[in-house]
């Protein structure tokens, strides 16, 4: 068995849990948490492929994971700012409060 396999199964499971959360949760903050979980699943899979793959380019996978952690931080900042802006208008962070646009 490829030693990377358990990590990849874990990454796939995290990704699916995150996606289910992002799609099904009605609370904007929990949807954001789901997205972060998806990004972290991708990081885990990068590191697993880097550690157990043939890795001809020594640090590529690790670098990718580091950069995407930084991106996740920036994304959370913008996301929380938008959630606060929504809260100021609707007094709620529920996504059900945000459905005036349709069609």
Partner 1 sequence: MAMNYLDLARLAAAEILLVVTALVVLSVDLGLRQCDDLARRTRWAVALGVAGCVSAVVILWELVPEGAMPAGMFASDALTRGVKAGVLLLTAGSLLLSRGIRFTPHVGEYVATVILGAVGMLLIVSSENVLILFLALELASLCLYILTGFDKRSAQGTEAALKYFLFGGMAGAVLLFGLSLVYGATGAIEFGKIAQGVAESGVSPVLLMGLVMVMVGLGFKVASAPFHFWAPDAYQAAPTPAAGFIAAGSKVASFFILAKLAESAFGPAMGSSAWGRFAPGWSPVLATMAAMSMVWGNLAALMQTNVKRLLAYSAVAHAGYTLVAIAAGGPEGLSAVTFYAVTYAITTLGAFGVVGLVESATGGAELDHFAGLVKRSPRLAVCLGIFVLSLAGIPPLAGFFGKFYLFLVALDGSVGSLGLLWLVALGAATTCVSFYYYLVLLKKVFVEDAVMPERAAPGTGVESAVVWASTILVVLLGCFPGWILTPLRSALMAVGW
Question: Which chain residues interact with partner 1 by CB under 8 A?
Answer: 4, 8, 11, 15, 18-19, 22-23, 28, 31-32, 35, 38-39, 41-43, 45-46, 48-50, 53-57, 60-61, 63-64, 67-68, 71, 74-75, 78-79, 82-83, 85-86, 88-90, 95, 98-101, 103
> How long, in residues, is the chain?
103
41, 33 contact by CB (below 8 A): no
Q: Give Cα separations from 71 to 37, 38, 48, 64, 100 (angstroms).
A: 13, 13, 20, 10, 30
| Shortest distance in whole angstroms from residue 10 CB to partner 1 | 13
Rounded CA gap, 60 and 82, in Å? Answer: 33
For partner 1, which is the closer residue by CB, 6 or 53? 53
For partner 1, which is the closer residue by CB, 10 or 60? 60
């Amino acid at each position: 068995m490829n030693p990377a396999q358990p990590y990849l199964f874990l990454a796939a499971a995290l990704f699916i849990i995150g996606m289910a959360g992002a799609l099904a949760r009605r609370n904007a903050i929990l949807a954001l948490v789901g997205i972060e979980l998806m990004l972290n699943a991708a990081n885990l899979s990068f590191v697993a492929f880097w550690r157990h793959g043939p890795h001809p380019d020594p640090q590529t996978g690790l670098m990718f994971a580091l950069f995407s952690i930084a991106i996740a931080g920036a994304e959370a900042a913008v996301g929380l700012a938008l959630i606060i802006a929504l809260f100021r208008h609707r007094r709620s962070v529920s996504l059900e409060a945000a459905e005036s646009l349709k069609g």
